[in-house]
Amino acid sequence: MAELFPDEGLDLLLSYFPKGTAPPTTVYIGLFTSQTATTVPATTAVLATQTGVTEATGTSYARQSIASGSWGAQAAGTGGRKSTAGQVTFPTAGAGGWGTVNGFFIADAASAGKAFFYANFDDGLAIIVGSGDIIKITPTAQFNG
């Protein structure tokens, strides 16, 4: 599994600390179909313009909200510290499905916006989302030292 905080995500984090901008009370989880099951977008990816990353599309696809209160306490991760949110269920994929999903991202907006980070799935496998399928993800954010 790969994960990465792109430049736009690092810029967001630096605006919260040390600059003191108020962080969002809700973030959004989305799915990306670009890259591979074991690679994520580059640091230069720009979510709003789909530069270097392609978000899933299709009938019923929409980013799902994650309230700040859903995130658990900080804990030991693999080589760093992590926090996990409650499981998120995406709507049932409509006709045609959403294609091959290689991972997820956490963004600051329900559409366009900026990505805080990108991650593949823990098992290193892509998910083919067909018509009638439902995908559930337990989001985890980790900082490595």
**pLDDT digits 0-9 by tens, 82-111:** 999 999 999 999 999 999 999 999 999 999
Residue 52: name the closest of 33, 28, 69 by CA: 33
| Statement: residue 79 has pLDDT above 80 | yes
- Indicate whether 1 pLDDT > 90: no
- Other residues' Cβ atoms within 10 Å of the Cβ of residue 57: 11
pLDDT of residue 106: 98
Q: In the chain, pLDDT over 70 holds for what percent of residues?
A: 100
| Per-residue pLDDT band at 130 (split at 50, 70, 90) | very high
Could you report the per-residue pLDDT of 29-74, keeping only the tens digit for each?
Answer: 999 999 999 999 999 999 999 999 999 999 999 999 999 999 999 9
Share of the chain above pLDDT 90, in %: 93
Does residue 70 sit in helix, strand or coil? Answer: helix
Does residue 145 carry a pLDDT above 80? no
Tokens of 145: 């030292």
Cα 15 → chain centroid: 19
Tokens matching residue 129: 């989302």
Is 15 a residue whose pLDDT tops 90?
yes
pTM score, two decimals?
Answer: 0.95
- Note the pLDDT of residue 30: 98
Give the pLDDT band of residue 121 (cuts 50, 70, 90): very high
Q: What is the per-residue pLDDT for 78?
A: 86
In this structure, what token pair is assigned to residue 139? 């989001």
Contact 84, 138 (CB under 8 A): yes
